Chain A
Amino acid sequence: MASRDEIVSTVKEFLSEEFEVDKSTMEPEANLQETLDLDSLDYVDLVVVIEENFGFKVAGEDFVDVVTFNDFYALVEKKLAEK
């Protein structure tokens, strides 16, 4: 299973590419939605890039507790562990 550092690196890479946001703005405790400027449509594309990079699909309700980037990394860790 990927380490937290590997997950952070991979996530920053694909989020930066998909949402055209500089990686340096993705601080661990930064607000994910605000930093990436996500609207409701963008969450659909977030599901797509997660599936493309990690091979699992997240549901809308999985994002309920995701506020910061750290929350997002934790979600990815949890889903990878369940695979």
Chain B
Amino acid sequence: MEHRVVITGIGIYSCLGENLSEVKDSLYKGRSGIIFDAPRKEMGFRSALTGMVKDPDLKPFLNRRQRMGMHQPAMYAYMATKEAVENAGLDIDQLSQSETGVIFGNDSTAGSIMETVDKLRKKNDTTLIGSGAIFQNMNCTVNMNISTIFKLKGINFTVSAACASGSHSIGLGHLLIKQGLQERVICGGAQEINGTAMGSFDGLSVFSTLEDTPTKASRPFDRDRDGLIPGGGAATLVLESYESAVKRGAPILGEILGYGFSSNGDHLSNPNLDGQHRSLNMSLKQANIKASEIDYVSAHATSTPVGDSIEAQAIYDILGSKVAVSSTKSMTGHECWMAGASEVVYSMLMMENDFIAPNINFENPDEISAKINIIAETKEQKIDTFLSNSFGFGGTNSSLIIKKIK
């Protein structure tokens, strides 16, 4: 028997705000979280633009041992997960006594690894690195920390799929619940914010250099876009079976109707129209709905010249010219491993509050982006069903379709 999969809790820690309320406000007002981070220039960055979040103070919530294995990805993920769990009306006792797992998207721990290597080179003694480093350095750091803190007894692993990690985590959690293998799965994505993590990305010369105007620099789909801007933080969603949600009287924020995915089997970094077509088509097929039933598309568009054009073409080909489209990366920058989860959370906030967040800085279309309906100003509009795209390096694609339950 297949189960319906619903979202009962969401949480967010991003450059748009440190909780759902702040983030909703930023989305509605079209407020950018992009800054110029001067230390990156000293590190040799071509562009010092970034979304920025501060490291949260976890002392009020977690004891020393719980904090020791956490660096930025896990710290941000804890904040988002704490909010999502509370939002879902759950506590640690309930989680520990139920079939609840965690699948989180994360694809780097560069900041903690650099600190570890620095200590090792300085001390020439592995013990003097300390006990926390190994748990901070492993790519599954978020899962290790979240599962032990929240005492989860179900599935427990990390999804590393570049900039589609967060989206695939939701898709996989959804499949496990749909198949009856889990009652509830905590899903999400985390992205560290530190120069060490992004230096090699900046080295590809794909970041925007509009450093004099940070909030204008991320311009997805705009004719004058010149590159992406990194961002970060974490986003969490509590997925569970419809039966479980109804049984415990949980708030049902939306239902996951479809998860489409594909691999380009092509270039390491270049996007591929056919791969995106297949991901979009699969999500529609899984959802068993027509393209015309999609009210809003949360685009992956990162503000790169080639990537945005390919996606605009894919949206036009599969979903047509009328559906409302925006990329919240215009405000957040590219939240990479977190983006697929955070953009679902952003869209959930829009769906809950009847508006479409603007694709800020979209001033002039190019030949291809002119074919689709890009929302440049905040629009009051009911959303019943949305689609969220995520495309990553290595040609990994994911598309999720989520519907409001009335």
Q: CB within 8 Å of B: which residues of A?
A: 18-20, 39, 41-42, 44-45, 47-48, 51, 57
Q: Determine the distance from Cα of A20 to Cα of B125 in the docked complex, in whole angstroms.
A: 25
- 7 closest residue pairs by CB, A with B: A44-B131, A41-B131, A48-B130, A20-B64, A45-B131, A47-B127, A48-B128
Chain A residues whose C-beta falls within 8 Å of the C-beta of B127 in the assembled complex: 44, 47-48, 57
Which residues B120-165 have CB closer than 8 A to chain A?
123, 125, 127-128, 130-132
Is B63 engaged at the interface, CB distance under 8 Å to the other chain?
yes
The distance from the CB of A15 to the nearest CB of chain B, in whole angstroms, is 12
Residues B128 and A57 in contact, CB atoms below 8 Å apart? yes
Indicate if B267 sits at the interface (CB-CB under 8 A).
Answer: no
Contacts of A41 in B (CB 8 A): 65, 68, 131
Q: Are B130 and A44 in contact (CB under 8 A)?
A: yes
CA distance A48 to B127 in the complex (A): 7
23 cross-chain CB contacts under 8 A = A18-B64, A19-B64, A20-B63, A20-B64, A39-B65, A41-B68, A41-B131, A42-B65, A42-B131, A44-B127, A44-B130, A44-B131, A45-B68, A45-B132, A47-B127, A47-B128, A48-B127, A48-B128, A48-B130, A51-B128, A57-B125, A57-B127, A57-B128
Q: Mark B61-79, 1 if CB is under 8 A from A, else 0.
A: 0011100100000000000
**Which residues of B are found within 8 Å of A42, using beta-carbon distances?**
65, 131
Interface of B is mostly: helix
Could you say which residues of chain A place their CB within 8 Å of the CB of B131? 41-42, 44-45
Residues of B within 8 A of A51 (CB): 123, 128
Q: List residues of chain B with CB under 8 Å of any chain A CB.
A: 63-65, 68, 123, 125, 127-128, 130-132
**Given A18-B64, A41-B65: 14 more A-B contacts, CB < 8 Å:** A20-B63, A20-B64, A41-B68, A42-B131, A44-B127, A44-B130, A45-B68, A45-B131, A47-B127, A47-B128, A48-B128, A51-B123, A57-B125, A57-B127
A66 CB to nearest B CB, Å: 17
Closest Cβ neighbor of A49 among chain B residues: B130
Distance, CA A47 to CA B125, complexed state (A) = 11
Residues of B within 8 A of A39 (CB): 65
Looking across the interface, which residue of chain B has its beta carbon closest to that of A51?
B128
B contact residues around A20 at 8 Å (CB): 63-64
Q: Which residues of B contact A44 (CB under 8 A)?
A: 127, 130-131
Instruction: Tell me which residues across on chain A come within 8 A of B125, comparing CB atoms.
Output: 57
Would you give the shortest CB distance from A45 to chain B, in whole angstroms?
5
Residues of B within 8 A of A48 (CB): 127-128, 130
B9, chain A: closest CB distance, angstroms = 30
- A47 / chain B contacts, CB cutoff of 8 Å: 127-128
Bound-complex Cα distance A47 to B55 (A): 27
CA distance A79 to B131 in the complex (A): 23
CB-CB under 8 A from A57, the residues of chain B are 125, 127-128
Complex Cα distance, B64 from A18, in Å, reads 8
How far in angstroms is the closest Cβ of chain A from B37?
A: 30
In the complex, the chain B residue whose C-beta lies closest to that of A41 is B131
How far is it, in angstroms, between the C-alpha of A48 and the C-alpha of B140 when the chains are bound?
25
A39 to B132, CA, bound (A): 13
Contact check, A45 vs B128: say whether CB atoms are below 8 A apart.
no
Q: How far is the CB of B63 from chain A (nearest CB, A)?
A: 7
User: Which residues of A lie under 8 Å from residue B64 when comparing CB positions?
Assistant: 18-20
Cα A15 to Cα B202 in complex, Å, equals 41
A48 to chain B, nearest CB (A): 5
B132 proximity list for chain A (CB < 8 A): 45
Q: How many angstroms from the CA of A41 to the CA of B134 in the assembled complex?
A: 11
Docked pose: A20 CA to B65 CA in angstroms = 10
